[in-house]
Amino acid sequence: MSLSLETMLQLTIILPLLATLGIAATGRNPNLREGVTIVTSLAVLYCVINLYLGLKAGESISVQWLAILPGLQLSFSIEPLGMIFALIASFLWLITTVYSIGYMRAHHEENQTRFYICFAIAISSVMGIAFSSNLFTLFIFYEVLTLSTYPLVTHAGTEKAKKGGRVYLGILLSTSIAFFLFAIISTWFVAGTLELTPGGVFDSSVNKTVLAIILVLFIFGIGKAAIMPFHRWLPAAMVAPTPVSSLLHAVAVVKAGVFTVLKICVFIFGIDLLSELPSTQFLLYLAGATVLLASLVAMRQDNLKARLAYSTVSQLGYVTIGALLATSAGVIGGSMHIAMHAFGKITLFFCAGAILVATHKSKVSEMRGIGRQMPITMAAFFIASLSIIGLPPTGGTWSKWFLLMGTIDTAQWTILVVLMISSLLNIAYLLPIPYRAFFPGKGFVADNAGIKEAPLASLIALSITAIGCLALFVYPQPLYELATAILEMREQPAHE
């Protein structure tokens, strides 16, 4: 195939949308339907990889769609940060599809066609967010992502799902309209542009207080980044089927949030300006508090998915901290953490789902000795836990390394301590699970000997992501190159 890169860029957004038609048409035949999803995700991944190679070769790729309002266009372009996000999302979409085939069937979920359709729309909007070249485009896809994932969160259709969906939608939609949109319109008014520009869009004459307020509005408005007090939607969304929790609430939705935060810090404010704003310090402490409190709450959760959810809230805080540190190490650490945490957390969720399917257990306290039954799953769980904590030999080491470097560079000692304590807390709430699973202690009687793993498709998926955690430790260079390239763009501005 000899498609131009511009076409590929558009295909990443359009293909998943087209796939919804195929999924709807083949809804009666599950094999064909899942076939459509897998083929589409392969195609999207192919396009994204080609775009990555194009970016590496130094090509600048951008596409303009129609102007919705005068001066506000739907337009897309490729830059390293978006590339990281798109690569992760498209790769993990493929893996998740494999996983959900095993999970959804073994779990006898209903409305699977609707599930795959909404999933595809969500991925399309993630690609839109990753590649959007202005804030307006980004906002549109951000909202589409919220709405398309609502039916996924409430998939079960129960009273609990309805309540969860209410919190999910209520917080995400409210914050985005009341704060995010307001911040965008203010930016448009103050700067006269919403273009995501290396080095920021505000010139030095703008009143710092106004910008400080806009920054606060942005950080609160991006509810998907789950900064306290707007984090409640994430645990609430855990009523969703596990594949949704894993891809959307460990990767796509939450990463869309912190990705947007990073984008805004680097390309709207610019890190030089960011470090001068009076509200940055306050927001840093808020993010630090989120990291600590969420870790503490996670320790007290007995439901595994809830524990993982709070852990996600805490880890998202890391990325926000990385962005707000406004230093190169912080940005590198933050953007690498998007990838590292994605691999780690999706593995953990996959494992949680596998345990649920194989043994119908969802509580941590019931999981003693489960390692005998599900050795592969629990081994993957162990590796992923290490990555989340940030211990070698897993990828999480690198992102935490750079984040700590960032705090030292900027002499943010409090934040440094927060990150250290939080790592300890991570150990405390994650590691006992695989430990107890393999070493149940005295007096534990295994109810049935023999291995009873999750469906093969799910097992393959979680093994791949677990291996991914390890691979990212040995071979983080491509990711690191992309992460450093984000700031190199800043140093050589005005290439537009």
Partner 1 sequence: MLTHLPALQVLIPLMAAPLCLFLRRPHLVWMFTLIVSGLAFLISVALLQQVMVSGPIIYEMGGWSGPWGIEYRIDRLSAFLSLIITAMSTVVLIAAQTSIDKEIPKNRQIYFYILFLFALTGLLGIVSTGDVFNVFVFLEISSLSTYALIALGKDRRALWAAYQYLIMGTIGATFILISIGLMYQMTGTLNMADLAVLLPEVAQTRTIFAAFAFFVVGVCLKLALFPLHLWLPNAYAYAPSIVTAFLAATATKVAVYLLIRFTYSIFGISFSFTTLPLQTLFVVLGLVGVFVASTAAVYQKNVKHVFAYSSVAQVGYMIVGFSIGTTAGLMATLLHLFNHALMKGALFLALGAVMYRIGSVQLSSFNGLGRQMPFTMAAIVAGGLSLIGVPLTVGFVSKWYLVMASIENGWWPVAVLILLGSLFAIVYVWRIIEAAYFKDPVAGKEPAKEAPLAFLIPIWLLVGANIYFGIDTRLSIQVAQAAAHSLLGISP
Q: Which positions touch partner 1 (CB under 8 A)?
A: 66, 68-70, 139-140, 143-144, 147, 154, 157, 159, 161-162, 166, 169-170, 173-174, 177-178, 181-182, 185-186, 188-189
User: What's the min distance (Å) between Cβ of 18 and partner 1?
Assistant: 18
Alpha-carbon 156 to chain mean position: 23
User: What's the min distance (Å) between Cβ of 488 and partner 1?
Assistant: 32
Residue 371's alpha-carbon distances to 3, 351, 460, in angstroms, are 48, 12, 17
What distance in Å separates the CA atoms of residue 263 and residue 12, rounded to the nearest whole number?
20
Smaller CB separation from partner 1, 101 or 121: 121
Residue type, 77: S
CA dihedral 288, 291, 296, 301 (to 10 degrees): 160
Nearest in space to 307 (alpha carbons), one of 294, 292, 288: 294
User: What's the min distance (Å) between Cβ of 465 and partner 1?
Assistant: 33
43: number of Cβ within 10 Å: 18
- Phi then psi for residue 273, to 5 deg, are -65, -40
Smaller CB separation from partner 1, 112 or 463: 112
User: What's the min distance (Å) between Cβ of 240 and partner 1?
Assistant: 15
User: What's the min distance (Å) between Cβ of 142 and partner 1?
Assistant: 9
The DSSP line for 455-472 is: PHHHHHHHHHHHHHHHHH
Smaller CB separation from partner 1, 143 or 453: 143
Please answer whether residues 104 and 118 qualify as being in contact, where contact means their C-beta atoms are separated by less than 8 angstroms: no
What distance in Å separates the CA atoms of residue 308 and residue 306, rounded to the nearest whole number?
5
User: What's the min distance (Å) between Cβ of 250 and partner 1?
Assistant: 25
What distance in Å separates the CA atoms of residue 371 and residue 358, rounded to the nearest whole number?
12
User: What's the min distance (Å) between Cβ of 168 and partner 1?
Assistant: 11
333: tokens are: 């650490």
Smaller CB separation from partner 1, 153 or 437: 153
User: What's the min distance (Å) between Cβ of 367 and partner 1?
Assistant: 31
190: tokens are: 């103050």
Smaller CB separation from partner 1, 182 or 438: 182
Smaller CB separation from partner 1, 60 or 158: 158
Smaller CB separation from partner 1, 178 or 228: 178
Smaller CB separation from partner 1, 140 or 431: 140
Q: Which long-range contacts (CB under 8 A, 24 or more apart) does 62-66 make?
A: 62/6, 62/133, 63/6, 63/9, 63/10
Report the interhelical angle of 304-324 vs 328-359 (nearest 10°). Answer: 170
User: What's the min distance (Å) between Cβ of 189 and partner 1?
Assistant: 5
User: What's the min distance (Å) between Cβ of 179 and partner 1?
Assistant: 8
Smaller CB separation from partner 1, 70 or 450: 70
User: What's the min distance (Å) between Cβ of 161 and partner 1?
Assistant: 8
197: number of Cβ within 10 Å: 21
Smaller CB separation from partner 1, 71 or 392: 71
Smaller CB separation from partner 1, 185 or 446: 185
The DSSP line for 258-300 is: HHHHHHIIIIII-HHHHHH-HHHHHHHHHHHHHHHHHHHHHHT
Helix, strand, coil percent content, the chain, rounded in steps of 5: 75, 5, 20
Strand partners, 134: 195
